[in-house]
């Protein structure tokens, strides 16, 4: 989801506030390594994911260090997927099965044979499927450590956190009521462990 235009949805994380020594040195190389690559039309790959320019989803070269916007690092995670509509797959598989039955004078096909036919049809259709592209923006404030990622779907968020670790060598901590509390209580020099003693408030019990 875009953070730059329209309504956004986002999850928050904290990265290390202090960047490791030599962080900038290998950064361009790592960005290139984990940059987005187009799905090859001839390949059977169903999915491709990687970083692109936050202001231009068709630019994954990062030749001018476009991801550095001091004090931010800003990029988008682009995920392209080829999907075959299930009804189309069913229809073409059924047609293929009928053809085999006719050619081989069979009354029915075994389950294994039907599965083979379905897989062959799926691979044939996959080559014709146009990939659907989605981008999820990320803004990382390297001064505060706050990382804002433009998605709230757990599967995509997990993939983002993993790719972030591979690229930047840092684990992200997802923010939630407890971890947010840790941050704020820590700033005020109060012990976050105070939260451990809390239990849900019974507002409607007699006072």
Partner 1 sequence: MQVLDRVRKTAFLGREFLLWLWFMSDTGEGVFDLGEKGKAEIWLDGKITLQSETDRGLETVTCAGEDVSMKEARFALAEEKEIREAAIKLAVGDNEWSFVLDSAWMNFRSFKTPRVINDGREDPDGLFYEKAFLIEEAVSAVDQIYSAFLKRRLSPEWESQDRAVIGRWIREGGTGSAKQRQETDI
Give the interface with partner 1 as residue ranges (CB under 8 A): 3-5, 7-12, 54-55, 69, 72, 74, 139, 141, 146, 148, 152, 174-181, 183-185, 188, 190, 194-196, 198-205, 207
Rounded Cα gap, residues 54 and 136, in angstroms: 9
Q: Cβ distance 161 to 170 under 8 Å?
A: no
Closest CA to 120 of 143, 104, 102, 96: 96
Residue 171 C-beta: closest distance to partner 1, Å: 12
Residue 156 C-beta: closest distance to partner 1, Å: 13
Output the DSSP codes for 125-138.
HHHHPPPEEEEEEE
Of residues 22 and 198, the one with the C-beta less far from partner 1 = 198
Of residues 8 and 89, the one with the C-beta less far from partner 1 = 8
Of residues 2 and 131, the one with the C-beta less far from partner 1 = 2
Residue 122 C-beta: closest distance to partner 1, Å: 34
Q: Cβ distance 83 to 63 under 8 Å?
A: no
């Amino acid at each position: 989801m875009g953070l730059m235009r329209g309504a956004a949805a986002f999850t928050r994380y904290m990265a290390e506030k202090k960047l490791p020594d030599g962080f900038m040195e290998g950064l361009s190389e790592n960005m290139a390594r984990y940059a987005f690559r187009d799905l090859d039309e001839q390949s059977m790959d169903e999915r491709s994911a990687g970083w692109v320019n936050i202001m231009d989803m068709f630019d994954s070269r990062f030749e001018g260090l476009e991801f550095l916007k001091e004090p931010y690092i800003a990029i988008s995670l682009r995920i392209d997927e080829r999907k075959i509509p299930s009804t189309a797959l069913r229809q073409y598989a059924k047609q293929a099965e009928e053809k085999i039955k006719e050619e081989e004078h069979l009354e029915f096909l075994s389950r294994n044979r039907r599965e083979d036919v379905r897989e062959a049809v799926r691979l044939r259709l996959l080559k014709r499927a146009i990939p659907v592209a989605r981008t999820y923006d990320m803004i990382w404030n390297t001064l505060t450590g706050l990382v804002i990622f433009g998605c709230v779907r757990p599967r995509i968020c997990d993939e983002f956190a993993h790719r972030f670790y591979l690229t930047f060598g840092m684990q992200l901590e997802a923010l939630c009521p407890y971890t947010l509390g840790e941050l704020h209580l820590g700033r005020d020099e109060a012990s976050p462990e105070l939260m451990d003693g809390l239990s849900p408030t019974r507002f409607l019990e007699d006072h």
